[in-house]
Amino acid sequence: MSESKEFAVPALPVQKQQTAETSAPAPAPPVQENTKRLPQPPPLKYEKPSWSAQPTYKYQLEVLKNGASLETVQGPRKEFVTIGRLPICDIPMEHPSISRYQAIIQFDHDGDAYIYDMDSAHGTKVNKKPIPGREYVQLKPGDQIRFGESTRLCIFESEKPYDPEAEAEERRQIILKKRLAKARGELQSDQTENVESEGISWGFQEDAQEEDDDEDDNGVENSVQDIEANLDKSGDASLLSVEAEKMAVEDAKRRREDLKIMYDDDSDEELYDKTSRKKKKVEKADTHEDLVRKQKQATIDIAKIEKEILEKKEAQAKKDNDAAAAGEEDLDAYMSKLTKKPGNDKSLFALQKELNQLKKVETTIA
């Protein structure tokens, strides 16, 4: 090689051009889903009644613990409100003894609220009394509700006006209706027995009839009529007025007192006891000497009692002065003086009463 020739630089290798026939890029691998599906809550096994309606008054539950108010839960405007441990409940509770669906508060067209226990494991209490499961119990403003074994109390409050007298009247009306139904049942059973007994003579004559049965029937009929009359007077089947009940109670008390006086009085026993006439001693008439002797004795007794009254008044005045002088006296010493009282010491009132009786005797003898 000659020096004149230039040094040849080697050319770079030619890269293979990609043709259209080359394959497309591989797709990216699918991304796996890391999210997990939440478990579905159990279905609510409750069907609202036919009288269900939205609440017409605002209501709330005040939560208390150890007498202190923790929070106030405003009730939602729904026909029924679910209470339980599930977060989807309208009013969720966190205590472990509370069931997932513990209870339901149901409302009616009149705005009244009813609590309905879902047959929970630990039950529901209203005013410290357990309520039966699957039954509606009416709630009144101020009622205390305890769910399960929770230490928290829920106070039910409602804007609906509450009249305790009307509730008591309604309760008395229910009792009177029960008495009416019972009296009608007794009357019907007695009439059935009488019809059955009329078919058998049992050897008695046709005219021989017992009057007691008729009286009993009349008594039952009268009781039924009285109750029905009371119901008719009230117009809407309400009860007797409170004044009538008070008069009946007072009349019963008066009769008991009369019976007590009649049976407790010894003079009545002697009056109705015929044997007391034989045992009764003949009373002797007092002679002039007896009257003079009684008058002298009465005068002596009067003077004695007047002296005792005077001494007692002086002793009382002295005791008052001593108590005023010794204002800072020891309590034990003062109490010991009070407890030291003679057993036969009569009070001033008793002495004055005895004195008046003796003066009457003296006046009668004179």
What is the predicted pLDDT for the residue at 82?
97
Confidence band, pLDDT 50/70/90 cuts, at residue 356: confident
Q: Is the pLDDT of residue 31 over 80?
A: no
Q: Is the pLDDT of residue 313 over 70?
A: yes
Q: Which long-range contacts (CB under 8 A, 24 or more apart) does 60-64 make?
A: 60/157, 61/91, 61/145, 61/154, 61/155, 61/156, 61/157, 62/154, 62/155, 62/157, 63/152, 63/153, 63/154, 64/152, 64/153, 64/154, 64/155
Q: Is the pLDDT of residue 205 over 60?
A: no
For residue 335, the SS3 value is helix
Stretch among 123-137, 145-159, 285-299 having the lowest mean pLDDT: 285-299
Confidence band, pLDDT 50/70/90 cuts, at residue 19: very low
Confidence band, pLDDT 50/70/90 cuts, at residue 329: low
What is the predicted pLDDT for the residue at 199?
55
Q: Is the pLDDT of residue 232 over 60?
A: no
What is the predicted pLDDT for the residue at 346?
67
Q: Is the pLDDT of residue 237 over 50?
A: no
Q: Is the pLDDT of residue 32 over 60?
A: no
Stretch among 63-67, 124-128, 235-239, 319-323 having the lowest mean pLDDT: 235-239
How confident is the model over 180-204, as a mean pLDDT? Answer: 68
Q: Rounded CA gap, 366 and 347, in Å?
A: 29
Q: Is the pLDDT of residue 299 over 70?
A: yes
Q: Rounded CA gap, 364 and 358, in Å?
A: 10
Q: Which residue has the higher pLDDT, 248 or 51?
A: 51
Percent of the chain with pLDDT over 70: 59
Alpha-carbon dihedral sign for residues 122, 126, 131, 135: negative
**pTM of the entire predicted model:** 0.42
Q: Partners of 10 in the beta sheet?
A: none
What is the predicted pLDDT for the residue at 145?
96
